[in-house]
């Protein structure tokens, strides 16, 4: 080890030991982002902000929450909501944040689909992003159980019951997951552990990995253009910022992110204070009661589309029961987004609206997800059941047809 | 059928919106993108919140505080049932209500007819049995009548004294000739003037009850809470608990379960789980919101009912005032923060274009 | 002198031994999530039917739910796909939660039916919905018949499987 010279400033002292200057360059001031972007590119930073809010508020909730079936409900609705100083604020931020984080995840995800940011070297970005989606779903589901209200209980009951549909081991698996024959104390405590420790730790790791995957293929841009980053960054460093196609992560990119975050926070805190019923369902202010089913059981809004796919099949087809068909479709829906980079056979990296075939597919998918989400909350009776069936089969059909449609597109655009 | 149209409308709207906006080149690109997102998010929110609630919880007619049986009769007729009896009953009540009551005569009648079971502590009629014993003998603990004349509607009290089961709208629990009999007998044999006198007395006695005591230096919130609590205790606590206020139901759960076949819920969080609007309509006439429920119509007048709901808010959502006071401050601060973020961003990006 | 292949082999051997340890610890982790013995013991409820009398409802608790067991009296006919024959008598064995909103219906021995106090739903003695809002008959818990006159709740026996197989598929997943 080389001998250290005496440092002339605190900055130098740290630089000698941690190589701060070089690190800052690599991570911030010379980490290049394309300039041709819009505010949708700020969704990642916004998600980081929301995740931070969730962690901080979660820590404060953790100090008074009691993971026990006899105490959980009152520890949330009495201790935290009525007694703890600003406990209600932390809970509202946590509850609304958990719901809104999915809104931003969906915008982030469909931005990627729209701009084709999942192919030609960007597959790992997509895969790690989908991993994050799965982890956030697990985090949301486990957290929803903790207030131990009626919706907590019955959502946990219905969702764990889904595993019962897995052939051969299903019945035992459900009991194993719950630690009991029904959703009980053991279920609550283990989901508490998952929610406050295991999943958050894995999430933080997965977020770091997601950032890392961006490093080599670079962030996509609005036109799907591939260019020489080395040349453009040299232009930038030489002072010709205006003609360079890149900007620095810090301060250029982040200054825009912070602006988007700050504007979004006005909307977010409006929800926290004045309109939080969508994230904190009124039914969940009734204490969990295994002897009394609520009139309507539905998941949080962000799971409605896949819930509707699950129950969209309600009659037997070819000797397979509706329940099993629903489970298969549900499994398909959970996994299919993951392989999107390989279903899209067209080499085009362009915004969907510039792609001759894909644009129809994209907006049809959006419309279908809307129908699934809206009908996913309604009671599945009468015409609703058929709309659900139709929308579910459309969903399956869209993904099954994607490889064929994009092959056609590839021919139309001449393989470019 | 309506739901189907919504589904179709969504698809059409998305397509039209997309086409129109992509043609509007004079609108800045980011604004176009933002407007698409706002419309889409707004639409999905409408779908899973207001629309879904509208579909799942059909609207019922608004609460009526006339207690003239009009809505009962309409409901019967709507269901295609015979409303003759109900019409006759409420016509009689309207007749009785025309009599001007005499509180002095009423006092004697109440003393003779009511105080064997009911206490009226403010007037010196004590409770003769413990709550538990009373529940065991009558099925439910009879209410104290001290502020009954203030809390319950006059018309309702007349109807109630005449025929409790009809007034409470629980004929399905106590059908005529059924094996269950409501603990309080009907007094429709009494003269209209007598009934009017008793109600006049109840009202007169209630007006003499002084406001509940609060500790010195109590805040406005505490004073209003104490006033509301008094009403809540008279109106609800015979059957319901309010655990977050340390209030237990006067009739035990076991006795209640025998009495109405179900255990009445603790009301601590009902302001959150049911909401203002539902509570007003439900308390006004439970059968209209939840047909078949064991909860009777208790006949609260408009003021008492709003006091009950306000009390439920003061206990179940006790930080409401703090929340509403803090909200604007946080939003103003964030707006200022957003302006500074915008200015800083513009400064940085000036060099980039 | 250690040559390359030997070093490679030792590396793999170390990896293999480490993997054995990892798998073994996974078993321990899996076990820690298993239902506790006290929970397992409460998962099965054994009911001796020999003392039952006809037309008198007995309620037993099983896995946190009330279970209705009703012995049919001589004048009560057995219902196909619903009644269970144990010994010489027929029984209704059902989860005692109204399929409307999960209240616990009460049995009326005079009219020989169930009435739900919450919203007026009615079920026949065999648990078939006959009036009001309930969407389907009362659910049947898994059970098996042992030793002629004993019923064990929580274990799916042949009689239970026969009953379930005869039911049409249902849209409700819960």
What average pLDDT does this structure show over C23-44? 90
B223 phi and psi angles, rounded to 5 deg: -65, -45
Instruction: Give the residue range(s) of CATH 1.20.810.10 domains in chain A.
Output: 32-293
The size of the A-C interface in CB pairs under 8 A is 69
Residue of B nearest to C116 (CA): B261
Is B261–C106 a contact, with Cβ atoms under 8 angstroms apart? yes
Nearest-neighbour CA in chain B from A258: distance (Å): 6
Is B172–C106 a contact, with Cβ atoms under 8 angstroms apart? no
What is the distance of C-alpha B107 from the center of its chain?
Answer: 31
C173 or B158, which is more confident: B158
Residue of A nearest to B314 (CA): A82
Tell me the average pLDDT of chain B. 89
Task: Determine contact, residues B288/B60, Cβ cutoff 8 Å.
Answer: yes
Interface of A with B in 104-143 (CB under 8 A): 107
- To which H or E segment does residue B127 belong? none
Is C174–A293 a contact, with Cβ atoms under 8 angstroms apart? yes
Task: Determine contact, residues B232/B311, Cβ cutoff 8 Å.
Answer: yes
What is the distance of C-alpha B304 from the center of its chain?
Answer: 10
- Which chains reach chain A with 3 or more Cβ–Cβ distances below 8 angstroms? B, C
List chain B residues with CB under 8 Å of A304.
48
Which residues have a Cβ under 8 Å from the Cβ of B150 and sit 6 or more positions away?
Answer: B203, B206, B207, B209, B304
What average pLDDT does this structure show over A208-236? 95
Nearest-neighbour CA in chain C from B293: distance (Å): 5
Residue of B nearest to C120 (CA): B292
C69 phi and psi angles, rounded to 5 deg: -125, 120
What average pLDDT does this structure show over B108-122? 92
Choose among A252, A282, A378: nearest Cβ to B348. A252
Task: Determine contact, residues B345/A255, Cβ cutoff 8 Å.
Answer: yes
Task: Determine contact, residues B169/B151, Cβ cutoff 8 Å.
Answer: no
Task: Determine contact, residues B196/B286, Cβ cutoff 8 Å.
Answer: no
Is A291–C63 a contact, with Cβ atoms under 8 angstroms apart? no
pLDDT of residue B263: 84
| Confidence class for position C173, pLDDT limits 50, 70, 90 | very low
Which two structure tokens, joined as six digits, stand for A122? 């960007």
Task: Determine contact, residues A99/A155, Cβ cutoff 8 Å.
Answer: no
Task: Note the pLDDT tens digit of each residue in C75-115.
Answer: 888 887 888 888 888 899 999 888 776 677 888 878 888 98
List chain C residues with CB under 8 Å of B261.
106, 117
Is B326–A370 a contact, with Cβ atoms under 8 angstroms apart? no
pLDDT of residue B3: 58
DSSP 8-state symbol, B48: I
* Max mean pLDDT range (A214-228, B288-302, C130-144): A214-228
Looking at the predicted structure, is the pLDDT value of residue C172 above 70? no
> Does residue C115 sit in helix, strand or coil?
strand
Task: Note the pLDDT tens digit of each residue in A276-329.
Answer: 999 999 999 999 988 777 877 889 999 999 999 988 887 778 777 777 888 899
DSSP 8-state symbol, B203: H
Which residues have a Cβ under 8 Å from the Cβ of B234 and sit 6 or more positions away?
Answer: B143, B144, B146, B147, B148, B151
Nearest-neighbour CA in chain B from A354: distance (Å): 11
What average pLDDT does this structure show over A339-345? 96
Residue of B nearest to C107 (CA): B261
CA atoms within 13 A on the CB side of A140: 25
pLDDT of residue C83: 86
Number of Cβ within a 10 Å radius of residue B160: 27
- Distance from C-alpha of B303 to C-alpha of B287, rounded to nearest angstrom: 21
Nearest to A42 by CA among A97, A104, A134, A93: A104
For chain A, give the percent of residues with pLDDT over 90.
82
Choose among C30, C104, C173: nearest Cβ to A291. C104
Interface of A with B in 342-401 (CB under 8 A): 353, 363, 366-367, 370-371, 373-379, 383-384, 387, 391
Give chain B's radius of gyration (CA, Å): 28
Is residue A237 within 8 angstroms of chain B, CB to CB?
no
pLDDT of residue B62: 82
Choose among A266, A353, A374: nearest Cβ to B48. A374
Looking at the predicted structure, is the pLDDT value of residue B178 above 80? no
| Confidence class for position C170, pLDDT limits 50, 70, 90 | very low
Looking at the predicted structure, is the pLDDT value of residue B9 above 80? no
CA atoms within 13 A on the CB side of A331: 10
Is B291–C119 a contact, with Cβ atoms under 8 angstroms apart? yes
- Which chains reach chain C with 3 or more Cβ–Cβ distances below 8 angstroms? A, B
Task: Note the pLDDT tens digit of each residue in A115-155.
Answer: 999 999 999 999 999 999 999 999 999 999 999 999 999 88
Domain A32-293 has CATH 3.40.50.9100: no
Tell me the average pLDDT of chain A. 93
- Distance from C-alpha of A391 to C-alpha of A312, rounded to nearest angstrom: 8
Looking at the predicted structure, is the pLDDT value of residue B11 above 70? no
Looking at the predicted structure, is the pLDDT value of residue B325 above 70? yes
Give the burial string for B57-70 (b: 16+ CB within 10 Å, else e): eeebeebebebbbe
Least confident of A210-219, B179-188, B275-284, C160-169: C160-169
- Which chains reach chain B with 3 or more Cβ–Cβ distances below 8 angstroms? A, C
C117 or C89, which is more confident: C89
- If phi over 0 gives left and psi between -120 and 50 gives alpha, with beta otherwise, what is residue A366? alpha
Interface of C with A in 67-86 (CB under 8 A): none
C145 phi and psi angles, rounded to 5 deg: -105, 130
Task: Note the pLDDT tens digit of each residue in C146-163.
Answer: 877 888 888 888 888 888
User: What are residue C146's DSSP bridge partners?
Assistant: C150
User: What are residue C153's DSSP bridge partners?
Assistant: C45, C143
The size of the A-B interface in CB pairs under 8 A is 160
Task: Determine contact, residues B261/C114, Cβ cutoff 8 Å.
Answer: no
Least confident of A249-258, A278-287, A318-327, B263-272: A318-327
Give the burial string for A238-252 (b: 16+ CB within 10 Å, else e): eeebeebbbbbbbbb
- Distance from C-alpha of A33 to C-alpha of A248, rounded to nearest angstrom: 6
> Does residue A162 sit in helix, strand or coil?
helix
Is B7–A377 a contact, with Cβ atoms under 8 angstroms apart? no
- To which H or E segment does residue B99 belong? none
Tell me the average pLDDT of chain C. 83
Give the burial string for B2-24 (b: 16+ CB within 10 Å, else e): eebebbeebbeebeebbeeeeee
Task: Determine contact, residues B262/C103, Cβ cutoff 8 Å.
Answer: yes
Looking at the predicted structure, is the pLDDT value of residue B2 above 70? no
Task: Note the pLDDT tens digit of each residue in A353-397.
Answer: 899 999 999 999 999 999 999 999 988 777 888 999 999 999 999
Task: Determine contact, residues B93/B163, Cβ cutoff 8 Å.
Answer: no
B2 or A386, which is more confident: A386
Looking at the predicted structure, is the pLDDT value of residue C168 above 70? no
Residue of A nearest to B273 (CA): A282
For chain A, give the percent of residues with pLDDT over 70.
99
* Max mean pLDDT range (A193-202, B216-225, C110-119, C138-147): A193-202
Residue of C nearest to B259 (CA): C117
Which residues have a Cβ under 8 Å from the Cβ of B29 and sit 6 or more positions away?
Answer: A38
- Distance from C-alpha of A99 to C-alpha of A300, rounded to nearest angstrom: 8
What average pLDDT does this structure show over A42-65? 97
Is B294–C119 a contact, with Cβ atoms under 8 angstroms apart? no
Looking at the predicted structure, is the pLDDT value of residue B8 above 70? no
**CATH number of the domain located at residue range(s) C41-165 in this protein:** 2.102.10.10
């Amino acid at each position: 080890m080389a001998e250290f010279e005496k440092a002339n400033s605190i900055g130098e002292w740290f630089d000698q030991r941690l190589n701060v200057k070089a690190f800052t360059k690599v991570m911030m001031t010379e980490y290049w982002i394309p300039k041709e972007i819009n505010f949708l590119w700020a969704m990642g930073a916004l998600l980081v902000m929301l995740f931070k809010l969730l962690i901080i508020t979660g820590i404060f909730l953790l100090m008074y929450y009691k993971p026990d079936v006899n105490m959980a409900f009152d520890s949330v609705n009495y201790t935290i909501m009525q007694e703890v100083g600003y406990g209600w604020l932390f809970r509202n931020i946590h509850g609304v944040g958990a719901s809104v984080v999915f809104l931003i995840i969906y915008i982030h995800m469909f931005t990627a689909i729209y701009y084709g940011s999942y192919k030609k070297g960007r597959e790992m970005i997509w895969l790690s992003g989908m991993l994050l989606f799965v982890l956030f779903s697990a985090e949301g589901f486990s957290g929803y159980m903790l207030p131990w209200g009626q919706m907590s209980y019955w959502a946990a009951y219905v969702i764990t019951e889904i595993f019962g549909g897995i052939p051969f081991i299903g019945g035992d698996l459900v009991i194993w997951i719950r630690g009991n024959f029904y959703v009980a104390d053991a279920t609550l405590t283990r989901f508490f552990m998952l929610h406050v420790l295991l999943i958050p730790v894995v999430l933080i790791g997965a977020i770091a990995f997601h950032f890392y995957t961006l490093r080599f293929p670079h962030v996509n841009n609005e036109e799907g253009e591939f260019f020489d980053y080395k040349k453009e960054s040299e232009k930038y460093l030489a002072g010709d910022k205006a003609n360079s196609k890149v900007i620095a992560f810090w301060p250029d990119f982040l200054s825009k992110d912070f602006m988007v975050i700050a504007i979004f926070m006005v909307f977010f805190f409006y929800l926290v204070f004045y309109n939080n019923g969508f994230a904190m369902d009124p039914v969940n202010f009734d204490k969990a009661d295994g002897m009394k089913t609520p009139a309507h059981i539905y998941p949080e809004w962000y799971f409605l589309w896949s819930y509707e796919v699950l129950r969209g099949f309600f009659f037997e087809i070819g000797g397979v029961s509706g329940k099993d068909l629903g489970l298969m479709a549900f499994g398909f829906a959970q996994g299919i987004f993951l392989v999107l980079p390989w279903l899209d056979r067209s080499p085009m990296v362009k915004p969907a609206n510039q792609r001759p075939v894909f644009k129809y597919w994209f907006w049809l998918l959006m419309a279908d997800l809307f129908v699934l989400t809206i009908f996913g909350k309604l009671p599945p009776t009468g015409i609703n059941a058929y709309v659900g069936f139709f929308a579910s089969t459309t969903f399956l059909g869209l993904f099954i047809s994607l490889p064929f449609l994009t092959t056609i597109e590839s021919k139309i655009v001449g393989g470019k | 059928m309506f739901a189907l149209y919504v589904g179709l409308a969504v698809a059409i709207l998305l397509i039209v919106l997309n086409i129109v906006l992509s043609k509007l080149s004079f609108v800045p690109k980011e604004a176009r993108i933002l407007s698409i997102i706002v419309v889409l998010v707004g639409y999905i929110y409408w779908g899973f919140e207001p629309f879904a609630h509208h579909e799942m919880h059909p609207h019922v007619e608004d609460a009526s505080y006339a207690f003239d049986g009009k809505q009962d009769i309409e409901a019967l007729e709507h269901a295609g049932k015979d409303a003759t009896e109900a019409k006759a009953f409420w016509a009689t009540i309207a007749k009785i209500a025309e009599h001007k009551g005499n509180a002095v005569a009423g006092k004697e009648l109440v003393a003779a007819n009511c105080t064997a079971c009911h206490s009226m502590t403010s007037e010196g009629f004590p409770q003769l049995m413990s709550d538990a014993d009373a529940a065991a003998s009558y099925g439910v603990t009879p209410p104290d009548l001290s502020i009954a004349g203030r809390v319950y509607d006059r018309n309702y009290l007349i109807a109630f004294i005449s025929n409790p089961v009809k007034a409470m709208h629980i004929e399905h629990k106590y059908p005529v000739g059924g094996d269950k009999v409501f603990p309080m007998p009907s007094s429709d044999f009494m003269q209209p003037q007598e009934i009017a006198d008793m109600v006049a007395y109840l009202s007169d006695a209630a007006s003499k009850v002084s406001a509940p005591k609060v500790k010195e230096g109590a805040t406005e919130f505490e004073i209003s809470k104490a006033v509301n609590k008094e009403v809540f205790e008279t109106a609800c606590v015979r059957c319901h608990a309010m655990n977050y206020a340390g209030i237990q139901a006067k009739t035990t759960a076991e006795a209640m379960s025998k009495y109405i076949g179900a255990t009445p819920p603790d009301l601590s969080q009902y302001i959150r789980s049911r909401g203002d609007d539902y509570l007003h309509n439900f308390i006004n006439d439970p059968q209209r919101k939840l047909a078949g429920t064991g909860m009777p119509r208790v006949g609260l007048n408009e003021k008492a009912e709003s006091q009950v709901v306000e009390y439920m808010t003061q206990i179940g959502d006790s930080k409401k005032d703090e929340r509403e006071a803090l909200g604007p401050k946080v939003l103003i601060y964030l707006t200022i923060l957003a302006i500074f973020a915008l200015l800083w961003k513009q400064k940085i990006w000036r060099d980039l274009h | 002198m250690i040559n390359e292949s030997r070093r490679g082999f030792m590396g793999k051997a170390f990896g293999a031994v480490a993997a054995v340890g990892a798998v073994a610890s996974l078993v321990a982790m899996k076990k820690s999530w298993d239902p506790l013995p006290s929970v397992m013991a409460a998962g099965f409820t054994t009911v001796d039917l020999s003392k039952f009398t006809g037309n008198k409802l007995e309620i037993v608790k099983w896995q946190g739910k009330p279970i209705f067991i009703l012995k049919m009296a001589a004048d009560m006919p057995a219902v196909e796909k619903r009644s269970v024959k144990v010994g010489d008598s027929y029984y209704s064995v059902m989860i005692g939660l109204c399929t409307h909103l999960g209240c616990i219906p009460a049995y009326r021995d005079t009219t020989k039916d169930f009435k739900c106090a919450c919203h007026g739903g009615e079920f026949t003695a065999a648990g078939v919905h006959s009036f009001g809002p309930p969407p389907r008959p009362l659910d049947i818990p898994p059970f098996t018949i042992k030793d002629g006159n004993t019923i064990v709740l929580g274990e799916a026996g042949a009689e239970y499987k026969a009953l379930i197989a005869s039911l049409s598929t249902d849209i409700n997943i819960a």
